[in-house]
Amino acid sequence: REEITQVIFDGTRTPAHDFTSPVIDGYSESVPGSEVLDYNPDEAKAKWAEADAISPWDGEFKIAYNADGGHQEWVDAVANSIKNVLGIEASGDPYPTFAEVRTAVTDRTIQTAFRTGWQADYPGLFNFLGPIYGTNAGSNDGDYSSKEFDQLLKQGSAASSTDEANEYFQKAQEILFKDLPAIPLWYSSVQGGYSEAVDNVAIDWHSVPLYFQITKSE
């Protein structure tokens, strides 16, 4: 993550530490279990050997992506990392358009790993967890289901304060780090610019300038 976000994205991405976003209240870089996101090739090789002893790997690991979205470079980098560390064949699997790869995901006809992304509809931890990983949720592309995870989401949603809710949602993330229904890679960073003719320029949690705050410079 560190190398890819710096070399390929020129620092316009930030390595992920969780399943939510650093601009959301309650975000934490130290959710128990999140160390699985640290680059550790020795541990990866050891875990892969354990898994291979249970069910021997055969074939090529592929990552599907839409070729019309500028994803080839980072997908190739991720595939090469997997190939070099685990010693297996790995490569990107391009679909011509976003619509085509999404159709394969939605129809559950896709047979490989695949890239996806998410931007919240409102600034709450739940909106990164419930719609994507809740049982039968609309954007649960991997059909992940955990009764314990669902219960924590329910408790968080019924909490009497944001702080209390976030405690439940972070406990829910602990379950995700054990089950890993998806692999968080990085957060996008917004880029913007403004002239000296204006002041009080700021960008909000979902990457939109707060136009109503902007003032003309003296």
Q: Residue 213 has what pLDDT?
A: 94
pLDDT of residue 192: 87
Q: pLDDT at residue 138 above 90?
A: yes
pLDDT at 38 over 90: yes
Non-local CB neighbours of 27 within 8 Å, separated by 6+ positions: 18, 20, 21, 125
Q: Quick one: pLDDT at residue 154?
A: 98
> What distance in Å separates the CA atoms of residue 47 and residue 199, rounded to the nearest whole number?
53
pLDDT band, very low/low/confident/very high, at 156 (cuts 50, 70, 90) = very high
Instruction: Write down the pLDDT at residue 207.
Output: 87
SS3 138: coil
Looking at the predicted structure, is the pLDDT value of residue 44 above 90?
yes
Say what the pLDDT of residue 115 is.
97
Predicted confidence (pLDDT) at residue 36 exceeds the cutoff of 90? yes
> What is the per-residue pLDDT for 74?
97
Given this model, what pLDDT does residue 144 score? 98
**Residue 199, beta-bridge partner list:** 215
Find the helix or strand (DSSP H, E) in which 20 lies: none
This prediction's pTM:
0.91
| pLDDT band per the 50, 70, 90 thresholds, residue 191 | confident
